[in-house]
Amino acid sequence: MGRVGADADFRWRRIVVPAYGPSLLSAAAKGAVVPIAALRADELGAGIGTVALIVSLTQVGQLLGTLPAGWLVARIGERATLARAGLLEALAFVVAGWAPSLWLMALALLLSGAATSAFFLARQGFMIDVLPSHLLARGMSLLGGSMRTGMLLGPALGSLAIPLLGLQGAYGVAVLLALGSFVLVVASPDLTRENERARAAEPTGRIASVAGRNLRLLLTQGAGVAMISALRTARVVLLPLWALHIGLDGVASSQVFLMAAIGEICLVYPGGAIMDRLGRVWIVAAVMSTVSVAFLLLPFAQTLTSLTLVAVVMALGNGLGSGIVMTLGADAAPALDRAQFLAAWRMCGEVGNTGGSLGLTAVTALVSLPVAAVSLGVAGLLGLGWTTLWVGRADRSRVGVSGGGRSATDKA
């Protein structure tokens, strides 16, 4: 089956709006409500424990929605799934923002997580179709960068609406952004129509059978992906807890995250270029080693300046690895039953996301926050060898299949 992006006349400008515009707006919609979800739950009378549970439901929704998203993409295609995910996300934010009860808000957050799973699974398949192989990692890295930019833009827009309309103002912004994502999907040129028609004519397998055929890959590279995802998620959870631990106020904490986010976005494209030219394993090693060492250094960060430095180190490593999980999945995905495979692959990442968050919570509750940070650092370094071993093998296999890929990548 031919790939749209493999044409000799490939131009970035052809895919910028249809590929990255909806992703930017969808991530901005999510970013607008993340900072105020806990406040909304508190408005509805939730205690601190219930608030924590309510806020975590978006992540739970992503986990639960992964396999159904794979089924949906395989059944109706990427473009149709993207459109439906945008509408579902907008509806979920309407309900979450104006729900009269906690249980209705909780259901809405679960649905928003499921919509996120469907959106990003379909977007990954779309990118595989439109990108030439020698630019695949750069394209995926920029996709990750568009999501990161959206997560910065959303809170900024939401904060402008809150003084005028209260918390519902931020939810209103999120609804408009989600609808904007839907409009961009349906209004953009359909670049993958031929590929989707060809796949629709092929027999499709169940996700369980596709996962079974690729079980060794999922237990080797997939385990590495779970570790990378766990480190990333733990980083997002741990840093605000550490800021609270050392007595920083909300303004200082926001400054830490702003500096880290700027550093992260700056390395998105260089990370993709390294993956395309030198191999994926170099970025995997950089992400895992940098973030793990930063976890080990975190107990020594007792001031605003030192915490900012540690957070920036983490962010630089994470920025280099923007799109790495999607790139590895795209490399490994078979032409037949691709959506089902990508759903199983994404499940590896979601297991890592959930495990990283729950593991951090458990160690913090049973021992202490510094021990949790050190434990994460040690686990990351231990997982480094396993992950680089299997990703390195995949790199060599990919270059061999493409006929010595370096010469191909040099065309970029």
Q: Would you give per-residue pLDDT tens digits along the chain (412 residues)?
A: 445 444 556 788 888 888 899 999 999 998 888 777 877 888 888 775 677 677 778 878 888 999 999 889 888 888 899 999 999 999 999 999 999 999 999 999 999 999 999 998 998 888 888 888 889 999 999 998 898 898 888 888 888 888 888 888 989 999 999 999 999 999 988 877 777 777 766 667 788 889 899 999 999 999 999 999 999 888 877 887 788 788 876 567 767 877 888 888 888 999 999 999 999 999 999 999 999 999 999 999 999 899 999 999 998 998 999 889 999 999 998 888 888 999 999 999 888 888 887 787 788 778 888 898 999 999 999 999 999 999 999 988 887 655 444 333 333 3
Q: Clarify whether residues 191 and 222 are in a common domain.
A: no
pTM of the model: 0.82
Q: Clarify whether residues 283 and 195 are in a common domain.
A: no
- Which pLDDT value is given to residue 86? 93
* Domain interval for residue 382: 205-412
In a domain, 3, yes or no: no
Q: Clarify whether residues 340 and 353 are in a common domain.
A: yes
Q: Clarify whether residues 75 and 160 are in a common domain.
A: yes
Query: Would you state the structure tokens that stand for residue 204, as one six-digit string?
Result: 């499709």
In a domain, 230, yes or no: yes
Q: Clarify whether residues 70 and 209 are in a common domain.
A: no
pLDDT tens per residue across span 127-166: 888 888 889 999 999 998 898 898 888 888 888 888 888 8
Q: What Cα–Cα distance (Å) separates residue 397 from each residue in 125, 140, 367, 402, 403? A: 21, 20, 43, 9, 10
Q: Clarify whether residues 214 and 171 are in a common domain.
A: no
In a domain, 98, yes or no: yes
Boundary residue ending a domain (201, 217, 232): 201
- Could you give the angle at the alpha carbon of 174 between the alpha carbons of 172 and 178, nearest 5°? 120
Q: Clarify whether residues 94 and 229 are in a common domain.
A: no
d(CA 310, CA 295): 8
d(CA 270, CA 274): 6
Q: Clarify whether residues 274 and 399 are in a common domain.
A: yes
In a domain, 142, yes or no: yes
Boundary residue ending a domain (171, 201, 231): 201
In a domain, 318, yes or no: yes
Q: Clarify whether residues 219 and 159 are in a common domain.
A: no
Give the CATH number of the domain where residue 291 resides: 1.20.1250.20
CB 62 within 8 A of CB 113: yes
- Overall number of domains in the chain: 2
Q: Clarify whether residues 298 and 181 are in a common domain.
A: no
- Which pLDDT value is given to residue 120? 86
In a domain, 13, yes or no: yes
Q: Clarify whether residues 171 and 209 are in a common domain.
A: no
Boundary residue ending a domain (139, 167, 201): 201
* DSSP-derived 3-state class of residue 101: coil
Q: Clarify whether residues 126 and 32 are in a common domain.
A: yes
In a domain, 16, yes or no: yes
Query: Would you state the structure tokens that stand for residue 377, as one six-digit string?
Result: 């650092």
CB 276 within 8 A of CB 409: yes
In a domain, 2, yes or no: no
